[in-house]
Amino acid sequence: MAATETCLDLPEELWEHILNCDNNTFKSLSMVSKQFLSITNRLRFSLKIIDQTIPFIPNLFQRFPNLTSLDLTYFSGVSTLQAIFTEISTFPSNIKSLNVSHRIAIPQNGFRDSSQRLQNLSKSFNCTIMTAIFKTDILFIADRFPLLEELNLDYHYYHGTKNNFVLNIDDQYLPLPKLRKINLSCDLDLFHRICAWKNSELAARGVGKMEKMGGVF
């Protein structure tokens, strides 16, 4: 009993270090005590939203104040996605990574509503397995999230005609100055069009690796 009480008296910073070693145990540990519940809530940095959790989004954002990553691929419906962005826009957030894959198109309307709350999105943007991707989508992403370091566009089914990626005098530079990794899933045609943008440090670094790395550079 005395040993148990001694353990419970450990500083929270030490408990955070101990519990953070295995986040797969958060659910069971959160039921041990209010202290562990509070600690595990602070240590959760990523969240997958599914259909069943949508009504509880406000509670989830309040419960997990340190979220930095959202996965929005596990539910159905464009209107549902719009509702989620509406909820996000009502909460302060520090989201740095976002996954909106398995969609028909980039949800531009939702991003317009919540871009102020997602202005810290700087780590990664994942929009794989999309029905279509266009130059306007990439420019929109760059405009809303200019600090992005990683952009994943792999396995889209259609990216328009060649004219879709023709460069105008105003968009000769891909406006993502911090971008260091982009995944095009071996789409050589789209790869060469994007490489035509003149901030080509990333492009030049990727040209020699395209075939070997399967479209990721």
What tokens were used for 75?
A: 């539910």
The predicted pLDDT at position 139 comes to 80
pLDDT recorded at residue 208: 38
Average pLDDT, the chain: 69
The four Cα atoms 187, 192, 195, 196 give a dihedral, to 10 degrees, of -150
Q: Which long-range contacts (CB under 8 A, 24 or more apart) does 60-63 make?
A: 61/87, 61/88, 61/91, 61/93, 62/91
29/152 Cα distance (integer angstroms): 34
pLDDT digits (tens, 9 = 90+) for 59-106: 888 888 888 998 988 776 655 677 777 777 777 678 899 998 887 777
Sheet strand arrangement including 124-126: 46-50, 69-74, 97-99, 124-126, 150-152, 181-183
- Write down the pLDDT at residue 134: 75
Cβ-count burial of 89 within 10 angstroms (0-12 exposed, 13-18 middle, 19+ buried)?
middle
Q: How far apart are CA 69 and CA 13, in angstroms?
A: 23
Whether 40 shows a pLDDT value over 50: the answer reads: yes
More confident residue, 71 or 29: 71
Question: Model confidence at 214, in pLDDT bands (50, 70, 90)?
Answer: very low
